[in-house]
Amino acid sequence: MGRHVLDASALMTFFEDRVGADRVQELLVKAAGVKRPLLMSVVNWGEVYYSVWRAHGERAAEGKLHDIAQLPVEVVEADTELTKLAASLKARHNLPYVDCFAAALAHARKAVLVTGDKDFECIAGSLKILWV
């Protein structure tokens, strides 16, 4: 199993049991089985927290962070190199800034980006994407 990077929409798809949740679940099960966690930028992790808080309140958002911590997901800090790469993607493709961190992490780690967010269509030719 190669490396995979989750964006916020992929994790929200899983948590909200939307269409595509089964694909995300399959990746999580495989990641746990081979003890090689899926990756997620801390910026996209924060986007999940914000989205849940906005929709369901702070307590639910805190609970969701606990749920994420139980999954085979490694939250990757945004250092200066990752942030510079994300900013360059924003400048080149006008992708929403928070999404640029998922794309930058996938690029930096030579990983497949897992997403259901159609905003990523603008970079589909330059990055491997698993659509959920």
pTM of the model: 0.95
pLDDT computed for residue 64 by the predictor: 97
pLDDT computed for residue 2 by the predictor: 83
Average pLDDT, the chain: 96
User: Is residue 1 predicted with pLDDT exceeding 80?
Assistant: no
pLDDT computed for residue 60 by the predictor: 97
pLDDT computed for residue 3 by the predictor: 95
pLDDT bucket at 6, cuts 50 / 70 / 90: very high
Question: Residue 114 belongs to what domain range?
Answer: 4-131
pLDDT computed for residue 80 by the predictor: 98
Over residues 12-45, the pLDDT tens digits come to: 999 999 999 999 999 999 999 999 999 999 999 9
The total of structural domains in the chain comes to 1
Taking the CA atoms of residue 25, residue 21, residue 24 and residue 132 in that order, the dihedral angle to the nearest 10 degrees is 160
Over residues 50-79, the pLDDT tens digits come to: 999 999 999 999 999 999 999 999 999 999
Read off the CATH number of the domain in which 114 is found.
3.40.50.1010
Tokens of 86: 């994300």
